Amino acid sequence: MSASMSAQHAGSVTSTWGRRAAAGVLGGLAGGVVFGMLMAMMGMLTTIASMVGSHSAWVGFGVHLMISVVYGLVLTLLFTRFLRSYGRAAASGAVFGVVLWVIGPLMVMPIMLGMQVFSMDATAMMSLMGHLVYGILAALVAVRVLKARRA
């Protein structure tokens, strides 16, 4: 392999990872903003804020967006093969949202806040709906970014 081919290959790998990372950040933010608005309407942002010792809805929204970006990156960096078409991405995003719901509000958050794990009530069901919206929207935005023509 020549030096120019090696450099060319390295550039394409970097740009692929960069595009996937950009797709994850943008998808995570898109899903996070919409889900965050739903959480604000339900009064849940202060609960998110309490995970970091605050009672501010704005802090809760910030924490939520940071988590949303991390999950968006997980989606695009680890599960890109499911993001090749909008239909497949929507289905994969829904599954991803359910997994996040089980891990986050049903397990990790209750443990952090000293609450009962796997508690099923109306709030948990609303959270499931929000996580489905997040996962589907994050995946669809990611596909759009991944399919965008390179400038």
What does 11-25 look like in DSSP terms, one character per residue? HHHHHHHHHHHHHHH
Q: Tell me which residue has tokens 């759009």.
A: 144
As a whole number of angstroms, the distance between CA 60 and CA 58 comes to 5
Grouping H, G, I as helix, E, B as strand and the rest as coil, residue 54 is: coil
| Residue 6: predicted pLDDT | 41
For the chain, the average pLDDT equals 90
Tell me the per-residue pLDDT of 92-105, one tens digit each, with 9 for 90 and over: 999 999 999 999 99
pLDDT > 90 fraction of the chain, expressed in percent and rounded: 82
pTM of the model: 0.85
Instruction: Please name the residues in contact with 133: beta carbons below 8 A apart, sequence gap of 6 or more.
Output: 31, 34, 35, 38, 97
For residue 97, what are its two tokens?
């949202």
| Residue 113: predicted pLDDT | 87
| Residue 4: predicted pLDDT | 44
For residue 75, what are its two tokens?
């989606």
Tell me the per-residue pLDDT of 103-129, one tens digit each, with 9 for 90 and over: 999 999 999 889 999 999 999 999 999
For residues 106 and 69, the answer to whether their CB atoms sit within 8 Å is: no
